[in-house]
Structures are given as structure tokens and as C-alpha cells.
Amino acid sequence: MIISIVSVFLYALMDGLSIYLTMPLLDALFQQGGTSTKTEVDSSSSTSSLIPEWVNNTINDISLSFQTYILSGDVADVLLKISILIIIAFALKNIFSYISSYFMAYVEQGMIRDLRNKLYQHLHKLPMSFFKNEKTGDLISRITSDVGIIQTSVTSVFLNIFRDPITILVFFGIAFSISWKLTLFSLLIVPLSIGVIGWIGSRLRKQSLLLQKKLGNITALLQETISGVKIVKAFGMEGYENKRFKRETQHFFEIILKKVRISNISSPTTEIIAVILGAVIIYYGGRLVLIENEIKASEFMVFLFAIFQMMPPMKQMSTLNNKIQESIGAASRVFEVLDTKPNITNIENPKSLDSFNDEIRFENVTFEYSDSPEKILDCVNIKAKKGEIIAFVGSSGAGKTTLVDLIPRFYDPTKGRILIDDKDIKQVRIEDLRKLMGIVTQETVLFNETVINNIAYGLSDTPMDRVIDAAKIANAHNFILELPNGYETIIGEQGTKISGGQRQRLSIARALLKNPPIMIFDEATSALDNESEVLVQEAIEHLMKERTTFVIAHRLSTIRNADKIYVLEKGQIVQEGKHDELLLNENGIYKKLYELQFRSQAEMNNGKEG
């Protein structure tokens, strides 16, 4: 940054010098070298009432020395000196311009990289409740599109916020040294421009914010339809989805046109004001040269050069505000995420937890979402001893998934507490807590990576034989070997290149390799066919050995051997006990669920036989 700012300053000086050299050049061409020095001193003395005398004297001394050197000798010598100095000035100007641009790009690209990294890292700190209320596509849009707009704006800001003001000051100094009256007169453009620029900028910020929100909606719609393309095709909804997409893109089209219309007003408006003022300056300056004889023609020409050299950076400064407003619109969406405080964090001095030795206990646990008054869990009390299999059953919406999500602190209870080995999990370091757990869900999460990288996810430098052993126990080894490249096969986004049962077995192998003392199964076999279910269930039974296991059961036949079964209804535990014990209660929910499933299974089997 320092190198860039210094280079910008030197660039502006060289730019000013290249223009200033035209004055002795014009004097030499028009054979006015002999009177130049005297006129310079006389004209500059008119500034003595406005600036300190020592500054005035210093400027006069430098100007006198410079012109004495340049204008000494015959005309050929003067022209040679001026030509060489012009070449040097322009060469240095472009060298400093390159240096400033390169290092400024280094700074601004580094800032954007850090912003994008910080945003991505912050997303991982946010609780599950945040993602429950946000669209995936919109979050992706914020990290990519919104940060990209900030990047474009930052590029312009960094290049112009230092270069343009310095350039304006340099040329203002040149113009002021020639005629302070003419310079102050020319500055009438500033107050006229500020009002126009401010009005346009406020309108532009509003449109930019609307534009980014609409782009986020388009990205979210794309993400939804691409991920659900099978359903779209199955229901013949291509036409409906096309209409939805066209409606969103039409709104985007209308907003961006409005934004372009507002944005493009700024530059021509500023230029028209500048041209009007320029014409007035030419008239007023011409009178000072031709009628009042206050300045020479060469000085007036250099003054005009200086004033018109100030126009492009002033014009850039006017559009700079527009770019800043665009950036503010995009940045507000980015910082809306960054400013979201994670409500599930480590306390100031968390307790470490290296192992699980005794029991996990729920004490009067109640949970409700912040945006809903309805209780998802209501005063739940549970005990799970080390090595036990604990199952949860109940109708959809009873609170089963929310209950197991509280154990790894994806959410925190609204009331009550959860203890592991008599330690409140809120007092335990989150990283330590989650290292003790493995999770297999109905919606298997796999990555567009090789089989081996999916199984060894989160475990670096894992020996190949351990990966193979985990795959064998999970009944995955045989189908992996049948894949085109075996363990090096890339399985596609979300594992789309393999079947649902195969995906589940890979996720179980991943959990086995992690070897956690606590396992959570969230309806892991509910979406599988009978053949896949047998293989997956067998793999799950391997995984349950010598582990404390929490199971959300879709099929009650899979939890017959559970040490304790909790039946949930509307967030409350209404029954608990072993499988056989619960079946003895003729009026219990568990008995009804079991008979319902048994009847449905029998009807399916009869249908197959028929």
C-alpha cells in the first residue's frame, strides 16, 4: 500500500511536470524566452496576499531556477532540453503508474481474498438454525456475485481514491501558480457536481441492493431446480419452472436497466457542467490575456491544459461515488452474514473432553425455534449409559431429529441442559464434543470426490488398509471394487453416480473410520429398498458394537434389540421401555405404530406374491 501510494504521488508529479514543460516550450517556439522569467515573478507575486510569503518566495525561486536552466542557450538547446525532459517525465510517469497499479491490485485482491475467506469461515461458525432460514443459492450468490461486485468497486476505488485527488491537487497547484483568480473561478464546478452526484449515488445504492437480492433469488431458483431435476421431469413441470425463471430474469432485467439509466446520468451530467464552465473560463481567461494583460498566452494555454487535465480525474471521482454506492449495496448483503453472531459458541474457558466414560443425560430439556412459539420438545428427560442403544420413535414432527441434533450442539435447548459424564455440554469445547460423535442420516452427504476421500473425510494421512477395513465392515468393499477406478472413482455431486444403499454404506464406512464412541442414526435405512436395507442394517449393527448409539427408527423391526426405546408425541416422551415391554401396552402408541407397519408390510408382501 505504501509503495503504491508513493508511486501514485510521483506519477501525479510527473504528469504535472509533463504539462508544465509546455509553457517554456511555447515560449521558445514563439521566441518569448527573454521575458518569461520576469513575467513569472510578476504574476506569481499576485498570490502574496493569499499564501505565506516564504511559500511564495520558495515557489518563485524554484520556478526561476528551473526556467533559467531550461531557457539558457540558443533556441536549439532549449528545444533539446525540453524534449529530453518531456521524454523523461512521460517515461517516469508511466513507470510509476505501472508500479502503483500493480501494488494497488495486490492490496485490493488480497482484501477481496481475505473477505471471501472470512465469509466462508464465518458460515461454518453459524448454527443450523441460520441455514434453516436461508436459501442455499442466495448464500452462494453472496460469496461469489456480491463479493465480485465489491471487488470491481474496490479496484476503481483504490486506483482512483489516491491517484485522482493527488492528480487534481498537482494540476490545481499549477493552475493556482499561474492565476489564482482564474483557478478559483473554475472551481464553481465542484458545488454544482456534488449535489448531482449525491442524488444519483443514493438512487444507485438502492437499485444495487435490489439487484443483488434478485440475483440471489435467481441463484437459489437455479440451485433448487437443478438439484430437483428428477422431480421436475417426473411431474412434467418444465413449463412451470421455465415461467418461474423467466419471471425472475425479467425482474432482474428491469432493475438492471433502471440502474444503468441512473448510473449513466452521472458522467454526461458532470461533463456538460464541465464544458459550460470551460467555455466561461476560456472567455474570462481570454480577457485576462488580450485585454487586461495579467498573464501571457503561454501561461493561459498551460492553465487550460491543467484545468482540462483535472477534468478526467474529477469525472472519475464523480463515477467513483456511483461505484462506492454499488459496493455498499453488495457489501450490505455480505456483512449481513458476517455480522450474524453465532449463538452456539465456546464459552470463555471451555472444559476439555477427551473421552466418553459414563452416561449422557437430558434434564428437563425444552426446545423451540426463535421464530415459532410452538415447543418442539417439552421437558424431555433421558438417560443413555455407555454402550447402550437408545431408540426414538414417533410420528413425523414429534421432535425426534431435533432431539438428537441437540447432542452435538447443532442447536441448544431453550430450557434444561444436556450432560455428558456430568459435564454440561455448553461448558465443553464444541470441537471436543463433536469428535466423540459419528452421524449417519437419511440424507447422506457425500462430496464430488474419490471414494477414498469420502470415507477418510476429515482424517489426513489415513493408511489405505484402514480405509479398506472400514469399507469391508460397512459392506461397501465389494461394490467399490466394481466401480471403474475402485477406491479412486469420483462418485459425483452428492454421490449421484452410485445408488442410495451404496451411499449409505459409504457414510457408515466414514463413521467407522472415525471410530467415535457415540453414534447417531437418523432414519438411516428409511429410503432404501429391502436388499439395500439388509446390507446397510448389517453394517449399522457392526457400527453399533461397543458404542453408545442413538437411533431414530423409521422401521420398528430394526430396533428390537435396543436397550431402551423412547416414544415421542408432540415433543413429549409418552412411553419408554424395551421392544417387548412396549408391545404389551395394548393402548400405547408404540403398539399402534408397530401394528400399522406390520400390516403395511404384510400387504406389500401379499401384493408382490399376487
Give me the mean pLDDT over the 271-293 stretch: 76
Residue 55 has pLDDT above 60, yes or no: no
Residue 596 has pLDDT above 60, yes or no: yes
Q: What is the pLDDT of residue 602?
A: 46
Give the residue carrying C-alpha cell 500500500. 1
Cα separations in angstroms, 492 against 448, 451, 487: 5, 10, 13
Q: What is the pLDDT of residue 426?
A: 92
CB 14 within 8 A of CB 90: yes
Confidence of residue 415 (pLDDT cuts 50, 70, 90): very high
State the DSSP code for 606. H
Q: What is the pLDDT of residue 38?
A: 37
Q: What is the pLDDT of residue 56?
A: 60
Q: What is the pLDDT of residue 95?
A: 94
Q: What is the pLDDT of residue 382?
A: 92
Q: What is the pLDDT of residue 273?
A: 67
16-20, 56-60, 79-83, 92-96, range with greatest mean pLDDT: 92-96
Residue 35 has pLDDT above 60, yes or no: no
Give me the mean pLDDT over the 201-211 stretch: 70
Q: What is the pLDDT of residue 44?
A: 40
pLDDT in tens, 386-410: 989 899 988 888 888 889 999 999 8
Tell me if residue 586 falls in helix, strand or coil.
Answer: coil
Q: What is the pLDDT of residue 32?
A: 47
CB 353 within 8 A of CB 324: no
Distance between CA atoms of 168 and 309, rounded to whole angstroms? Answer: 8
* Four-point Cα dihedral 576, 581, 586, 588, nearest 10: 10
Give me the mean pLDDT over the 142-164 stretch: 75
Distance between CA atoms of 67 and 496, rounded to whole angstroms? Answer: 78
Confidence of residue 40 (pLDDT cuts 50, 70, 90): very low
pLDDT in tens, 492-548: 877 778 887 888 888 888 888 888 899 888 876 555 555 566 766 777 777 777 789
Give me the mean pLDDT over the 554-571 stretch: 83
Give me the mean pLDDT over the 140-148 stretch: 81
Cα separations in angstroms, 375 against 365, 378, 413, 572: 11, 6, 11, 10
Give me the mean pLDDT over the 336-353 stretch: 87
Q: What is the pLDDT of residue 331?
A: 83
Q: What is the pLDDT of residue 205?
A: 66
Mean model confidence pLDDT for the chain: 78
Residue 597, burial from CB neighbour count under 10 angstroms (0-12, 13-18, 19+): middle
Distance between CA atoms of 193 and 280, rounded to whole angstroms? Answer: 16
Question: Nearest-CA neighbor of 404 among 508, 521, 509, 504?
Answer: 521
90-104, 177-191, 206-220, 227-241, range with greatest mean pLDDT: 90-104
47 Cα distance to chain centroid: 53
Q: Phi/psi zone of residue 220: left (φ > 0), alpha (ψ -120 to 50 degrees), beta?
A: alpha
Percentage, residues of the chain above pLDDT 70: 79
Residue 321 has pLDDT above 50, yes or no: yes
DSSP string, 192-239: HHHHHHHHHHHHHHHHHHHHHHHHHHHHHHHHHHHHTHHHHHHTT-HH
Q: What is the pLDDT of residue 599?
A: 60
Q: What is the pLDDT of residue 112?
A: 83
pTM equals 0.62
Cα separations in angstroms, 420 against 70, 114, 343, 435: 87, 38, 21, 13
Residue 272 has pLDDT above 80, yes or no: no
Distance between CA atoms of 565 and 588, rounded to whole angstroms? Answer: 13
Residue 212 has pLDDT above 80, yes or no: no
pLDDT in tens, 471-487: 888 888 888 999 888 99
Q: What is the pLDDT of residue 507?
A: 84
Q: What is the pLDDT of residue 365?
A: 93
Q: What is the pLDDT of residue 71?
A: 64
Q: What is the pLDDT of residue 367?
A: 92
CB 115 within 8 A of CB 150: yes
- Low-confidence winner among 90-94, 232-236, 327-331 (lowest mean pLDDT): 232-236
Helices then strands, each counted (H, E), the chain: 22, 10
Distance between CA atoms of 365 and 566, rounded to whole angstroms? Answer: 15
What angle in degrees, to the nearest 10, is found between the helix axes of 464-473 and 500-514? 130
Grid cell locating 254 = 428491469
Residue 381 has pLDDT above 90, yes or no: yes
pLDDT in tens, 242-256: 888 888 888 888 888
Residue 416 has pLDDT above 90, yes or no: yes
Q: What is the pLDDT of residue 33?
A: 43
Q: What is the pLDDT of residue 62?
A: 64
Residue 34 has pLDDT above 90, yes or no: no
Cα separations in angstroms, 560 against 468, 541, 556, 582: 30, 12, 7, 11
Q: Angle CA(199)–CA(203)–CA(204) in degrees, nearest 5?
A: 110
Q: What is the pLDDT of residue 322?
A: 66
Cα separations in angstroms, 141 against 153, 184, 214, 445: 17, 48, 10, 22
Distance between CA atoms of 34 and 348, rounded to whole angstroms? Answer: 80
Q: What is the pLDDT of residue 48?
A: 39
Distance between CA atoms of 437 and 520, rounded to whole angstroms? Answer: 7
Confidence of residue 41 (pLDDT cuts 50, 70, 90): very low
Enclosing H/E stretch for 74: none
Beta strands per DSSP E along 207-337: none
Q: What is the pLDDT of residue 22?
A: 73
Grid cell locating 407 = 447432542
271-285, 418-432, 441-455, range with greatest mean pLDDT: 418-432
